[in-house]
Amino acid sequence: MEKQGIYTYAVVDDRQLKTDNIFLVTYKDLTLIGKMVDISDFQKELQGALKNPKTMEAVLTEHQDFLDRLMRKTTVVPFQFGTILKDKKGAADYLKSSYAKYKELLKKFKDRQEWGIRVFADLKIFKASIDFNVKSREKLGTGTAYLLKKKQEEEAEKATNEKLTSFSEEILTGLKELAFEYKVTKSAQRFSEKGEVLISVFAFLILKSKIRKFNQKVAKLGKKYQEFGLRLTSSGPWPAYNFVS
């Protein structure tokens, strides 16, 4: 027997919304947007995503593309990917019990977008920009020189981390003044495709009217820290994934 569930995308407060091939559940002025899926098919799809990064990308991007289109029409509160509700009654009860929470979030997200900033570092360039005050090891014995070299490497590592932290804080300070809210987040990513190390991940909730200014600031900061081997990447607009709690 086929088992169906409601694959969820988001909650909006627009009951006039017109979108094809979607399943709507409403409560007062809230609408939960989803689609009916066969659970078995969904399982297979996820297994396919596990099997192949390309399929994973396809499944996730399709989900995100739908939300992107929705975002252009209205304010959205996104669900975590893979949230499947049991039935229509359960979804309606959920909307009813979470009504106040959603109204609060929708108010906060109205006319605002999430943007993500990642700070990457080319450690070779970055370390070259630091004066490590390396002492000569020429007149020392082999063993002593080895330990001193290790000590200097340890100090260099510490100095590098401190400077990276300091620069990250400066970047955050420069950007957060343009945002309504910000979050310092984590990522599963460790390296860029160029091999740079991921140093910091920030998420900002920004008024749409300030986004141009925000991206100008990102470009300015990117230029400022470029000589130290830092690179800033900006992505958005995202649904406010990082600000739902």
Partner 1 sequence: MKKAKVVSHKLLVNQQRVTLLELLDRLLDKGVVAKGEIILSVADIDLVYLNLGLLLSSVKTVEKARGIGGGNSGFSAREGGENDGDFFKEGNPNIKWVEPPATDIKTPRGWQAERSEAMTPPMVKEVMPRTNIDPNNVEKGLTKLVLTLIELLRKLMEKQAIRRMEAGFLTTAEVERMGIAFQRLEERMGDLKQSFHLKDEDLNLDLGPLGELM
Restricted to residues 176-205, the positions that interact with partner 1 (CB under 8 A) are: 185, 187-196, 201
Least distance to partner 1, CB of residue 108, Å: 13
- Contacts of 165-174 with C-beta under 8 Å, sequence gap 24+, read 167/119, 167/225, 167/228, 167/230, 168/119, 168/199, 168/200, 171/117, 171/119, 171/200, 171/202, 171/221, 171/225, 171/232, 172/200, 172/202, 174/217, 174/221
> Of 17 and 22, which has the nearer Cβ to partner 1?
22
Residue choice 14, 19, 24, 64 for contact with partner 1 (CB under 8 A):
64
Instruction: Please state, in angstroms and rounded to a whole number, the distance separating the CA atoms of residues 81 and 166.
Output: 34
- Residue 59 corresponds to which amino acid? V
Main-chain dihedrals φ then ψ at residue 186, nearest 5 degrees: -120, 165
Which residues inside 76-115 make contact with partner 1, applying CB under 8 A?
77-86, 90-91, 93-94, 113
Least distance to partner 1, CB of residue 225, Å: 19
* Selected range binding partner 1 among 62-70, 125-133, 160-168, 217-225, rule: CB under 8 A: 62-70
Least distance to partner 1, CB of residue 119, Å: 14
Task: Check binding of 138 to partner 1 (CB under 8 A).
Answer: no
Instruction: Please state, in angstroms and rounded to a whole number, the distance separating the CA atoms of residues 10 and 56.
Output: 20
Size of the site for partner 1 (CB under 8 A): 93
> Of 163 and 183, which has the nearer Cβ to partner 1?
183
Instruction: Please state, in angstroms and rounded to a whole number, the distance separating the CA atoms of residues 35 and 4.
Output: 10
> Of 176 and 233, which has the nearer Cβ to partner 1?
233
Q: What angle do CA 225, 231, 234 make, to 5 degrees?
A: 120
Which residues inside 19-58 make contact with partner 1, applying CB under 8 A?
21, 35, 37, 39, 41-58
